[in-house]
Structure 1
Amino acid sequence: MAMSVGPGDSDGPMSDINTTPLVDVMLVLLIIFLITVPVVIQTVPVQLPKVRYEATTTKPENVSLSVRAGPGGECEVYWGQTRVNAGDLLNRAVEKLKLEIEKQGGINAPGLELPEAHIRGDINTPYRCIGGAVFTMQRAGFARVGFISEPTPGQQAG
């Protein structure tokens, strides 16, 4: 609702822009954003663990896997130094677990310590490769699957 005051042709079209509706819309948007932004930014308070380097004690019964991306985007998984495919990995893991359980006296043996799977993943390996190795080891029955990483330079052990 603009009002033109002053000399000029009152019957001609008005060429001034009416900014009142624009200002009204901008004020409403400002109020909406002021109300909704604090709601969106709220997070659940979580205390994240402190990462520190701990020396890995490797037992002979533990399984060491290396995962990397091969040519053409295929996943390469190595059991020790031997390359295995997904089926071989599952079969080997099940057999390893069975042998270790039998060696310790059976599934109901007191103090049964199951082996762990340690996975070394190349930094350029896609997640699907490492995730597939983790899934396969868990499917085979390994309860503890861990990642071997390189500590940041200058970080002390302990």
Structure 2
Amino acid sequence: MGMNLSSSDKDDEVMMDINTTPLIDVMLVLLIMLIITIPVQTHAVKLDLPVDQQSAPPPEPPPVVNLEVDFDGTIYWDGVIVADRADLQQRFRSAGLLPQQPEFHIRPNRLVAYKHVAGVMATAQKLGITNIGLVGTS
């Protein structure tokens, strides 16, 4: 605590300095209380691991059909040229009737018009094909 023990004749002057010692004491007490009340940090990670099931093997991934649309609208089904739209529809119909529908990866050429790719996708959707993905070119 601050105390003025001067022996000068200027006892009438008011002391203009703020005594900060009590403020520091209060701040230290608050800091200690904050540190005490913070919960202890644990470095454990809780994981819900799956139960080992011997009865069910993992399912096989569906077969993949690669469809390529060339710059002039020519369609390739796994590297084989599709003759026309009727042939494409027949192939989609037969693929849609399989117990496990294949995954279709459509890879358009960089120069192909959008209408050709949209036509292939619309035909597939119309015939009930649901596993369709576009593969980008670099």
Q: Write out the 4+ residue segments of structure 1 that deviate beyond 6 Å after TM superposition.
A: none
Larger Rg: 2
Alignment partner for residue 82 of structure 1, among 80, 83, 92?
Answer: 80
Residues of 1 paired with 2:74 and 2:62: CA distance? 23
Which is helix-richer, 1 or 2?
1
What 5-or-longer segments of structure 2 have no aligned partner? 1-60
Residues of 1 paired with 2:112 and 2:65: CA distance? 20
Deviation per CA, 1:91-147, whole angstroms, max 9, x where unpaired? Answer: 01111221x21xxxxxxxxxxx53221100001000001001111111221112110
Q: TM-score, normalised by structure 1?
A: 0.44
| Aligned length in residues | 77
Q: TM-score, normalised by structure 2?
A: 0.50
Deviation per CA, 1:69-103, whole angstroms, max 9, x where unpaired? Answer: 22xxxx211101111121111101111221x21xx
SS of corresponding position for 1:69: coil
Alignment partner for residue 69 of structure 1, among 65, 71, 86?
Answer: 71
| Cα RMSD, aligned residues only | 1.7
Match of 1:128 in 2: 115
Q: What is the CA-CA distance between 1:68 and the residue it aligns to?
A: 1.4
What 5-or-longer segments of structure 1 have no aligned partner? 1-58, 102-112, 152-158
Deviation per CA, 1:15-48, whole angstroms, max 9, x where unpaired? Answer: xxxxxxxxxxxxxxxxxxxxxxxxxxxxxxxxxx
Which one has more relative contact order, counting CA pairs under 8 Å at least 6 apart?
1
Write the letter of the residue equivalent to 1:79: W
